[in-house]
Structures are given as structure tokens and as C-alpha cells.
Structure 1
Amino acid sequence: MSDIAKRVYDHAWRIDPIVRWLLDTDFYKLLMCQTVFQRHADVEVEFSLINRSTSVPLAELIDEADLRAQLDHIRDLRLSRGESTWLRGNTFYGKRAMFGPEFMAWLEQFRMPEYRLERRGDQYELNFRGPWAEVMMWEVPALAVLMELRGRAVLRGMGKFELQVLYARAMTRVWEKIERLRKLPDLRISDFGTRRRHSFLWQDWCVQAMIEGLGPNFTGSSNCHIALRRDIEAIGTNAHELPMIAAALAPDDEALREAPYRVLENWHEDYDGNLRIILPDTYGTKGFLERAPDWLASWTGIRIDSGRPEEGAETAIAWWKSRGQDPREKLVIFSDGLDVEKIEALYARFNGRVKLGFGWGTLLTNDFRGLAPDDGLAPFSLVCKAVRANGRPTVKLSDNPAKAMGPPDQIERYKRVFGVGAQIAEPVLV
């Protein structure tokens, strides 16, 4: 196990790469990339960095030359032989050869495309433009780089013992959370913390702590390299990116309304009925479920990723019942801003009513709140989203209007098309 504090203190290299492997990314990115590769080779997309926490001045904390060096390093990465063997030969979700030979041949030759970086005041404008299957691969490593560079900037200049104490306190905090979670029988919880982690070494430490502390109740990691390295399950299905881009490409309101369902039809076909988890909140969970075709009710479960999680789960339970399904046989995965208190409360309310799963992200892999001077390591909300597809703007409504994105006129249009009424804004921590 690495001595993280010593490594931080000894940092004196010209560049200490933050992302060292192409598979230091989330599993859902590869799954989505394969379906995009197969179906949407002609779609040009732009991804853009969005710092929702504008009080964190990234351009003042992070040197532009350091950021460029990290991004340039990522552009030199290639899939290693071991990574390729793992993807080609491993069994994921009970299915062998999840990734087809044509996609694997492409991925084995893949290199990250170019990026565009400019400073705008105290923030960075970072964009990626090009074929969808290529630029989408930037999301996770770009966020990981910015989060870790910010952490390095805050830690720079701390003494050896100060760093040892800081990491000891952070480790104690993680372990105390794990000890609380051990009290929940049959808990199913995974690491979803790659994008906004403190660092790769810290995420890897947290995963090892979860393996030891929770045993089989820890179901795996979204991070492909860590899953490979620690011989655990790689966890993930799909994300908002698919319906957002499909909706942007829709030629009229009728096609727009049907776009989220067409995405799931394609997903079902591409993965032979596996990975059947619905992410319903892109344009409002309630309306999505009310209009959903009956065949979706037979899917394995739902991921709740915005709004009030209790309301989202209750809406899903009522929907399953209305479609003649037994909610006790369905999986509800909570994944929005989780920490131990929220996990305990959701477990108490829904255990036994549904099958429960938790995707624990930033507050597992980046909870240094109150541990650094001026709370300089507190987590913040940084995302990298698709903002255009074939020149047309994308829109996300979410169940939390504080997470909505897109041009105001298009947001209003999407609200009309999808029947989204008044929403309650919830604080966005991460």
C-alpha cells in the first residue's frame, strides 16, 4: 500500500502523471462508447468543462502549463496488452465478450483527440470537439486531472508531519463511515468516485478499505483500472449523455419526445438484454415513467441520480406497481451526492421494499472537508458535459433544476415537450 503522504511530500518530478492508463476511466464510458461507435460514427460532438462551484477559482489555483502537460500526457496513452486482454476475455455482468472485436480493434489503436484550453478570468474554458466516440472519452480523465491538480495546489508547501496527520484523519473518516455501513445487513454498495476523486492513489486506497471493511457487500468499482488491479467487478451501465445527444439530433418535437426511449431500445439490442438499468431523470423522472412503453417495466431496475432520492424511488415503486410488476424484485440504485447518513436513511426506508444498490462517489473518494487550511480541499461540483451535437445544443433538465443545462429557450422548449412543471431546487454539493 502506497504511503500517500510521503509521495505528496516528495513530489519533485517535472510531471507526475495523474492519469497513467487509458483504463483509468469509468466502465460506463466504454459501454456507451461501444454503442456510439456502432451506431453514430457520423455524429460530431462538443464536450465542455462546467464548474458549477464558481467560488473555486480553478485558473488561479492551477498553473496552465501544468494542466496542459497532464492533458498532453493523456493524449500519448494507448491501451496496454493487459488492459486489452482483460476487456476481451473477462466476464462482465455474467456476459463474456461484452466488447466486440471491431470495437476492440478500434480501441486498441485509439488515442485521445485534441483539446482546446483557454483562461477566462479565474476559470478555465476546456473543450473537446470531434467524432462522438472519440471526444466522449475525455470526460472522466479531464475531470480527474483538474480535481487532482487543485488538490496538489492546496497541499503544496505543507510539511511532512502536517501531511501525515491530514491523511491519517481522512483515512480515519473513511473507516468510520465503513464501520457504520457494516451495520446494514445485505448492503450493496459500489465505488462511483473516479471523476471527482482526490487522487488516483486515494481512490485506490478507499477501494481497498471498502474491500476489507465490507467484504461481499462491496460490489465493485466504476473505475476499470482499479477493478482490473484489485480483481473486483467493474460497475456501470449508461449515463445522461446518450439521451441528451439523441434529443439534440431529433428533427421535431415528436421525435424529441420519443428520443429517450429509442436510446434504451438500441441499448437493449446492443447488449442482448443485459445492463437493463433505466436512468429516467434526464428530462424528468415522473413524465418519463408515465409515458414509458410497457416493455421498460420489465427491466432490472432504475438509477436515481437527481432531485429528492426518496421521491424518485417512491415514483419508481408506484410505476412498477401500476405496470403489474413486483417492486421487491426490482433494483433501485441511488447515486446522487451520497454520504453515509443519506445511505443509512435510504436503506432504512426502502430495504425490503426493493432491491437496493448504492453508487458512492465524491464523498467516498474526496471527503477532506475541514481537514485543510480554509477548507481548501472541500469537494466541489465540476462536470464535463456534451453541449452540442452536429452543431445543435444539448439540454438536460434533471429532477433538480439546479443541475439543468442548455440555452434558456431550449430549456423551455424541452420542459413543454416533456411536460415538466414546477421543480424544487436542491443544493448541489458535488
Structure 2
Amino acid sequence: METIVPSLLDTDLYKFTMMQAVLHQHPGAQVEYLFRCRTPGVDLARRLEAISAQIDALCALRMRPEELDYLRGLRFLKPDFVDFLGLFHFDRKYVRLRRSGTENGGIELRLRGPWLHTILFEVPLLAIVSEVHMRGEYGEPDRTEGLRRLRAKTALLRDAVGFQDCAITDFGTRRRYSRAWHGELLPHLRAELGERFAGTSNVHFARKHGLVPQGTMAHEWLQAFQALGPRLRDSQAAAFDAWAREYRGDLGVALTDVIGLEAFLRDFDLYFCKLFDGMRHDSGDPVEWGERIIAHLRAHRIDPRTKTLVFSDGLDVERVMALHAHFRGRCRMSFGVGTHLTNDLGRPPLQIVLKMVRCNGQPVAKLSDTPGKTMVDDAGYLAYLRQVFEVPAPAPGPAGAGGVIA
């Protein structure tokens, strides 16, 4: 199999924006990430050697001069950070990959090391696991079927009356069928949707195809502050403050579901409502979320029509259009569509994540509005986090529904 990740730019923009803030503010932080496959019954262990070989290839990559020049052209990336990337490379010593000792057919994939030197691993590692599995199970992507499905989606959005200002962004790097298919579909989206295709989160393909790279922050930025201080109860506010200090008005979209929407709204006061340009949804019911965000802005005497609501949780084109119709005229909107674009060829995609679970030796957690998406490896800490932020435990459900990993 050819190299799956050909460039250090083959990742989501928000990994670079967070990495810059880490370099400037917390270069000594030590972290741990843990892989989880949410799709039951998948035998990834038999792909262990292929995954390992692709990680070796990843660790051989270096930034090329033309790639560094491209990054220097992004106004929010500072010269010292781009210079640092010129020296950066992935180090295999931070990766532990082996057969799971507790899950039949599972793998244990764990990162442990400096945050500054492990932060870029997440997206390419997930893309590697996804492509090794998809091509190992089903072979080369069925381009004919993929294009048929893609054209049906673009026609649905392009030809609908009243959706001229409804634009989508590609968020599909980490769970794509293959790198080749990802690169092929982006020009089709631009050709068929025009201005309704807003760009891609993938920096490599943004550079290659002349698209706008999109992204701000991810869960790990706020998770890390649960350990970085000043105190747990103030961790979200501290993370938003630190972000604003780094970017001074750029990249102003806040993620709302690291400890749940209720806790977010308590912390996101008038100061943050004015400071940030928008908020991003990534779990829970999107309509309920949007209504509560709009009500929160109005309660702080802010016109929601001046803010952008970014929807990015498991979207397909039909859901995008339904949300756009529901909130039309009440706020600005942006839609990040992932797996539905890059891995919809008639075969079931993997639901995989690689999330931070520790920072500076202390547990951290993503306490999602969708219980199955909660990510933590310390049940005691999860209970404490709920207590501190006054988040009730979910009703009892199937084993593992809370997302706790022992």
C-alpha cells in the first residue's frame, strides 16, 4: 500500500492553530492520548503491521520549503511557529501500538509525551487506521459509486430554492476512505457547488486545490486546561481567555461541548459573547443547541444575527439543509461535513477517535452532550468533574454507554 499521509500538512488546520498556542503558552506540558473505536465487532488487530508501517512512514516526513511558505501566508500563524515547524518531525517513541489485551480484535493505540510534539499525531493516525481498514476490507474505493452519491448530494443542495447562502465545508480527513478519494472529490465539490463550497479543514488539500483552510480549536485545548489551571471550575474560562490572547480576534469560534452545553453557557458570559465570533456544535441535539445559543445571546443583549453557529456533528446534506431552513434569518451559519463526504461509497465507515485523557499526569475528560461520546480513562475523575460543574450523570444504559475507558 502506498503512503497514506504524504505531507505534514495533511491534517486539520486546528491542529496547527492549537499547536502554535501550545508553543507560546505551554511548551512543557506532558499529555496522553487514547484511541477508541466506537464501531463494534471490528478486527483492527489483524491490520497491526500495516498500521505500524504507515506510522513509520509518517515519522519520516519533514516540512518542505514550499509548504512552510504557504503557512507563512496564513495571517494568524506567527513566524516563530512556522520556523519551529521547519524543525519538527513526528517521533515514534511517543507512540505505543499493540494488540489489545482486553478487546477481541482490538488494538491499543496510545500517545504519551510532550503536548508540543504529540499534538499533530491525532488526525494522520486516524486517517491511517481508517484507510488501512477500509482498503483492507473492501479494496480500492468504488469511484463510480462514490461520484454517483457525491453528485446526488451536490445536486440536492445546488438545485434547492432558498439555499443560495447555505455553504458546506469538508471536515472529513480523519475518517476518509482513502487519501486519493479525498483529493479527488474536493474539485468536484468546488465545480458543482461554487460558492456553496466554503473550503476544507485539510491544509494539504487547501494548498493543493487553492481552497480556504478552515478551523479554530478542538476539544483537547479546553480539556488540557482542566489540568493546567488555575482551578478546575475556571478551566473553560481560562482556555477561552488564553485563546483570545493568542489570536487577538482571529479564529473566534468557541467549542461548546467539552463539559456540556449547560456548563458552557454558565462560563460564556457577556465578555466572551462579545469577544468570540461564533460557537461550534459537536454533540447533542443541534436544534435544541442552536435555540439555546440564540436565547443566551439575546439574554446578553447581543443580536444573534451578528454571530455564526457552526454545526459539525455527523452531518449529511439533508441535515444541513434542515438546520439551515430552521435557523434561516436568525443567525449566521456554517456547516462542517465529514464522513458523509469523504467515506460514503457504500461501505460502513469506522467511528474512531483519538482523544486526550491526561495532561501533566492528571486525568482530563471530554464530557459530551452525547453520552456515548464522553471520553475519559478515570471514572473517579469523571464523577468529580460532574460534581464541580454540576453536570448530572446520565440515566443508566448499556455497558460502556458513558464512554468511560478503564
C-alpha displacement of 1:223? 0.2
1:419 is the counterpart of 2:403: no
Tell me the alpha carbon deviations over residues 375-412 of structure 1, each in whole angstroms, 9 at most, x when there is no partner: xx301210011111111111111111111122221111
Could you tell me how far apart the structure 2 residues matched to 1:312 and 1:146 are? 32
The SS at the match of 1:149 is helix
Q: 1:110 aligns with which of 61, 77, 88?
A: 88
Give the TM-score, by structure 1 length: 0.87
Structure 2 unaligned residues grouped into runs of 5+: none
Task: Extract structure 1 runs of 4+ deviating beyond 2 A.
Answer: 248-251, 290-293, 421-428
The equivalent of 1:410 in structure 2 is 381
Q: Report the Cα distance in structure 2 between the residues aligned to 1:331 and 1:101, rounded to whole angstroms.
A: 29
Counterpart of 2:286 in structure 1 is: 309
> In the alignment, which of 291, 312, 315 is matched to residue 338 of structure 1?
315
| Distance in 2 of aligned mates of 1:155 and 1:52 | 19
What secondary structure, in the 3-state scheme, does the structure 2 residue paired with 1:383 have?
strand
Q: Distance in 2 between matches of 1:223 and 1:401?
A: 28
1:399 aligned to 358, 361, 369, which one?
369
Aligned to 1:142: 125
Encode CA deviations 1:325-364: one digit per residue, 9 max, x unaligned: 0011110010000012211211110111111110011111
Query: Is contact 1:70–1:145 with CA below 8 Å preserved after alignment?
Result: yes
Gaps of 5+ in 1: 1-14, 372-376
Distance 2:213 2:287 in 1: 27
Out of 220, 224, 244, which is 1:241 matched to? 220
Using structure 2 for the length normalisation, give the TM-score.
0.92
Q: Distance in 2 between matches of 1:113 and 1:103?
A: 19
- The reply on whether 1:87 has 2:71 as its aligned counterpart is yes
8 Å CA contact 2:386–2:393 kept in 1: the answer is no
User: What is the Cα deviation at residue 283 of structure 1?
Assistant: 0.4
Q: Report the Cα distance in structure 1 between the residues aligned to 2:299 and 2:338, rounded to whole angstroms.
A: 32
Decide which moves more: 319-328 or 205-214: 205-214
Quote the residue 2:135 is aligned against.
Answer: 152
CA distance in 2, matches of 1:423, 1:308: 15
SS in 2 for 1:77: coil
Counterpart secondary structure, 1:387: strand
Q: 2:4 is matched with which residue: 9, 12, 18?
A: 18
Provide the secondary structure at the position in 1 that maps to 2:385.
helix
Aligned residue type for 1:105: D
Alignment partner for residue 178 of structure 2, among 199, 205, 213? 199
Partner of 2:105: 122
Q: Provide the secondary structure at the position in 1 that maps to 2:302.
A: coil
Q: CA deviation at 1:169?
A: 1.3
Preserved CA contact (<8 Å) 2:236 2:267:
no
Partners of 2:313 and 2:41 in 1: how far apart? 21
CA positional deviation for 1:78? 0.3
The alpha-carbon deviation at position 417 of structure 1 amounts to: 1.1
More deviation in 140-149 or 258-267?
A: 258-267
Aligned to 1:282: 258
**1:25-424 alignment, distance < 5 Å:** 25-60=11-46, 62=47, 64-88=48-72, 90-91=73-74, 96=75, 98-114=76-92, 115-120=95-100, 121-156=104-139, 166-182=142-158, 183=160, 184-250=163-229, 255-298=231-274, 299-368=276-345, 371=346, 377-406=347-376, 407-421=378-392, 423=394
Shift of 1:422: 5.5
The CA deviation at 1:81 is: 0.8
How far apart in 2 are the matches of 1:335 and 1:248?
Answer: 27
Residue number in structure 2 paired with 1:8: none
Report deviation, 1:128: 1.6
Equivalenced residue count is 389
Alignment correspondent of 1:7: none
What one-letter code is carried by the residue in structure 1 that aligns with 2:392?
A: G
- Partner amino acid for 2:334? G
Amino acid at match of 1:113: D
Deviation at 1:423, TM superposition (A): 4.9
| Identical counterparts, % of pairs | 37
Q: Is the 8 A contact 1:144 1:194 kept in 2?
A: yes
Q: Is the alpha carbon distance of 1:272 and 1:249 closer, same or farther for their aligned partners in structure 2, counting shifts above 3 Å?
A: closer
Aligned 8 A contact 1:143 1:382 in 2? yes
> Letter of the aligned partner of 2:329 in structure 1?
G
* Kept in 2: contact 1:328–1:352 (CA 8 A): yes
Distance 1:261 1:364 in 2: 34
Deviation track 1:127-182 (CA, whole Å, cap 9, x = no partner) reads: 121110111110000000000001111234x8xxxx7xx32112101110111111
Counterpart residue identity of residue 275, structure 1: L
2:8 is paired with a residue whose SS is coil
Give the secondary structure class of the aligned counterpart of 2:186: helix
Partner SS state of residue 194, structure 1: coil
How big is the shift at 1:216? Answer: 1.1
